[in-house]
Amino acid sequence: MASLSSSVMTQARPQRREAWLKWVGIIPFAIFSVMFLILPTLYIVFGAFQTQAGAFTLQNIRDLNTDLIRAAYAISIKISLASALIGCVVGFAISAAVVFGGLPKWVRGPIMTFSGVASNFAGVPLAFAFIATLGPVGIVTVLLRDYGINLRVLGFNLLTYYGLVIVYLFFEIPLMILIITPALDGMKKEWREAASMLGANTRQYWQYVALPILFPSLLGTFALLFANAFGAVATAYALAGPAFTLVPITLFSQIRGDVLGNPQLGFALAFGMIVITGIANVIYIVLRTRAERWMQ
């Protein structure tokens, strides 16, 4: 009996050791998440409901109801919605062409590689690239001017709503391609064949079969692109500076003490951004899970 018990304990130790080792790989990720995501987020949330003396208050949230801050949220949401919508449409079209369009197989590799690079290309380098290309003396601007097309006379300016949307599309479209391409790859050939056997043409297949199946993925990716654009600060600030009243720029100016001079109001601004981007990411996760269930 004693030998049997000793044998069971000997077998249990390696199993416990193996089970513990399975979690070792995620320890760096867990530490990184706690230090640079969870703790800063909690610090912002608590700060949004505190006075400078540390007492609880709702005044910081009430102070968000000003013309300047409402306008900042409005323009940020407007730009994010526009860039996310256009990014979804264009990115989906490119992905569909790559997966179903009959293009040569070698085309897919460069497109996916470029998308992986471009989706992370932002900040000062991206702003400089667009200024050097479409700025007042940019390469394309000067070239078109030589052919009698003056973008400035036509009303185009990078430092406007439409200009910023175009800049954001540089990383929104590639992000859409990276996310939606696996979903398109998951479309089963049997669905297309079944639709054809029932007499459906290409338009009817996409309208009644493909798009309803892909709708959760499309809507979830739209939410992710919205959150990605809403939180972008470096590109907009490098391009337009504090003159453009986006929420991240207003918050950045407040941190530097240029505009608001109230740290607790800055916490409230950041808290509002967390709520909006958090809702968008939750929508993405829920819809992505539902889409994966459909694909199975």
| Mean pLDDT, rounded, for 23-35 | 84
Which of 5 and 178 is assigned the larger pLDDT? 178
Summarised one tens digit per residue, pLDDT across range 106-130 is 889 999 999 999 988 877 788 888 8
Q: 152 is written with which tokens?
A: 């400035």
| Mean pLDDT, rounded, for 222-236 | 86
| Mean pLDDT, rounded, for 213-225 | 88
Q: Which helix (H) or strand (E) holds 78?
A: helix 67-100
pLDDT given at position 128 = 86
Which of 12 and 41 is assigned the larger pLDDT? 41
Which pTM was predicted? 0.84
Q: 20 is written with which tokens?
A: 């513990």
pLDDT at 217 over 50: yes
Across the chain, how many H-helices and E-strands are there?
Answer: 15, 0
Of 7-21, 106-120, 193-207, 239-253, which has the strongest mean pLDDT?
106-120
Q: 3 is written with which tokens?
A: 């030998």
Question: How does residue 253 score in pLDDT terms, banded at 50, 70 and 90?
Answer: confident
pLDDT given at position 222 = 93
Lowest mean pLDDT across 69-83, 92-106, 247-261: 247-261
Return the CATH superfamily for domain 66-295. Answer: MetI-like (1.10.3720.10)
Q: 67 is written with which tokens?
A: 């013309």
Which of 255 and 94 is assigned the larger pLDDT? 94
Find the farthest-apart pair of alpha carbons in the chain and give their distance in angstroms, rounded.
Answer: 97
- Report the b/e string of 269-278 with b at 16+ CB within 10 A: bbbbbbebbe
Average pLDDT, the chain: 83
pLDDT given at position 208 = 86
pLDDT given at position 201 = 86
Distance CA 162, CA 82 (A): 9
Which of 150 and 226 is assigned the larger pLDDT? 226
Lowest mean pLDDT across 16-25, 53-62, 181-190: 16-25
| Mean pLDDT, rounded, for 12-38 | 76
pLDDT at 16 over 70: no
pLDDT given at position 8 = 46
pLDDT at 11 over 80: no
Cβ atoms 248, 232 nearer than 8 A: yes
Cβ atoms 231, 251 nearer than 8 A: no
